[in-house]
């Protein structure tokens, strides 16, 4: 009987060493010490032994039981410690790794350029005036002195709505009329930044939605020199001190005379390069003296008042300044572009 007990103890201790988790030590407990365990079975059968044998075997069996209970406690403690070690190792953090930068949002490139331009013009005394993106045909064309058959009115240029004569503005110039009609006969200096829409094919050079800033100054003795000074100052602040500008004669129905304005190439300084197509100049805007018909439509007497106006594409300025060669990038939501510009 004692030999059987010794063998059971050896086997139990070996099995306990093999138990690698708390679950396995639980199973071990049921196998040997539990209610239906093998040592328990032996202890229960002591009654069948002879009087002489019983105390000896009983004593030894109880010693083994205590030894196994002691061994189980130790094994459970070390298995628990090992489990903690494994968890810690699995969740270990390498504190020497470099940190990750949080991704920061930023202003859209169009907004950056718009704010920059508005700041420059505000500081010259222009006030921002809000005007609607949805206009009547009259404000967008008629009151700006477009003849009824002007090609700009054609279907392919304008987005119409289901309401007769209601369109999406094709430029910010109709805002001139809103500002004039609000303030006439006071002198005004306003800028009108905002979205415009044109029903055109989308290409690297034209989007169907884009932004412009319109400028308008009306007063008693406003001359072409004022326009020149304003635009030269703008070009110097926007594109760098010492920039030159040049005026080319042009035509817009709402200005007379009308000009297109170039700045000397910001890349080559006028020598000729790819950006300026070897001309040395970059076109930045259209401008002119407000046409007497437009002054009258706005509520100003052309015999008493004169004014200048200009209009420029915001994405175009951003493209020139930041070397972007495709306007479609602005509205295709590619973060590689949005984060870079």
Supply the minimum distance, in Å, between the C-beta of residue 191 and ligand DAH: 11
Please give the helix or strand (H or E) that residue 211 lies within, else none.
strand 209-219
CB 42 within 8 A of CB 2: no
Supply the minimum distance, in Å, between the C-beta of residue 244 and ligand DAH: 20
Count interface residues toward ligand DAH (CB under 6 A).
11
Q: Which of 171, 178, 189, 316 touches ligand DAH by CB under 6 A?
A: 171
> DSSP secondary-structure letter at 312?
E
Contacts to ligand DAH from residues 226-285, by CB under 6 A: 252, 255
Supply the minimum distance, in Å, between the C-beta of residue 297 and ligand DAH: 14
Nearer to ligand DAH, 32 or 141 (CB): 141
CB 320 within 8 A of CB 297: no
Stretch that binds ligand DAH, among 59-67, 108-116, 305-313, 321-329 (CB under 6 A): 305-313
Give the side-chain half-sphere CA count within 13 A for 326.
9
Q: Which of 222, 287, 314, 320 touches ligand DAH by CB under 6 A?
A: 287
Supply the minimum distance, in Å, between the C-beta of residue 170 and ligand DAH: 7
Work out whether 194 is an interface residue with ligand DAH (CB under 6 A): no
Q: Which of 184, 189, 191 is nearest to 131 (CA)?
A: 191
Q: What is the rounded distance in angstroms from the CA atom of residue 293 to the CA atom of residue 265?
A: 35
Q: What is the rounded distance in angstroms from the CA atom of residue 53 to the CA atom of residue 113?
A: 103
β 134-136/166-168 pair status:
antiparallel
CB 187 within 8 A of CB 154: no
**93: CB partners within 8 A, 6+ apart:** none
Supply the minimum distance, in Å, between the C-beta of residue 173 and ligand DAH: 4
Q: Which residue has its beta carbon closest to ligand DAH?
A: 311
Nearer to ligand DAH, 129 or 252 (CB): 252
Work out whether 310 is an interface residue with ligand DAH (CB under 6 A): yes
Nearer to ligand DAH, 171 or 189 (CB): 171
Supply the minimum distance, in Å, between the C-beta of residue 102 and ligand DAH: 41
CB 120 within 8 A of CB 237: yes
Please give the helix or strand (H or E) that residue 214 lies within, else none.
strand 209-219
Work out whether 309 is an interface residue with ligand DAH (CB under 6 A): yes
Work out whether 311 is an interface residue with ligand DAH (CB under 6 A): yes
Work out whether 169 is an interface residue with ligand DAH (CB under 6 A): no
């Amino acid at each position: 009987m004692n030999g059987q007990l010794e063998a059971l103890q050896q086997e139990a201790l070996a099995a306990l060493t093999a138990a690698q988790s708390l679950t396995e030590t639980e199973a071990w407990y049921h196998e040997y010490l539990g209610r239906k365990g093998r040592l328990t079975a032996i202890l229960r059968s002591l009654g069948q032994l002879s009087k002489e044998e019983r105390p000896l075997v009983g004593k030894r069996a109880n010693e083994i039981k205590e030894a196994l209970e002691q061994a189980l406690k130790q094994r459970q403690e070390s298995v628990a410690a090992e489990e903690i070690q494994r968890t810690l190792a699995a969740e270990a953090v390498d504190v020497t790794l470099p940190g990750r930068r949080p991704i920061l949002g930023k202003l859209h490139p169009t907004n950056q350029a718009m704010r920059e331009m508005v700041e420059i013009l505000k500081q010259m005394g222009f006030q921002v005036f809000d005007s609607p993106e949805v206009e009547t045909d009259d404000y967008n064309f008629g009151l700006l002195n477009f003849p009824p058959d002007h090609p700009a009115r054609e279907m392919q240029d304008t987005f119409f709505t289901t309401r007769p004569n209601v369109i999406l503005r094709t430029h910010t110039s109709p805002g001139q009329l809103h500002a004039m009609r609000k303030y006439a006969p006071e002198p005004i200096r306003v800028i009108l930044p905002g979205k415009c829409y044109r029903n055109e094919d989308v290409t690297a050079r034209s989007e169907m939605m884009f932004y412009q800033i319109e400028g308008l100054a009306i007063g008693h003795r406003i001359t072409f020199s004022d326009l020149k000074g304003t635009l030269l100052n703008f070009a110097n602040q926007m594109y760098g001190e010492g920039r030159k500008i040049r005026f080319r004669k042009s035509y817009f129905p709402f200005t007379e005379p009308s000009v297109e304005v170039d700045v000397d190439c910001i890349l080559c300084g006028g020598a000729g390069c790819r950006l300026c197509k070897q001309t040395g100049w970059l076109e930045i805007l259209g401008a002119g003296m407000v046409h007497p018909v437009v002054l009258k439509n706005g509520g100003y007497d052309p015999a008493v008042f004169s004014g200048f106006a200009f209009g420029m594409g915001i994405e175009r300025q951003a493209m020139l300044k930041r070397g972007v060669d495709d306007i479609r990038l602005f509205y295709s939501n590619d973060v590689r572009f949005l984060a870079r510009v």
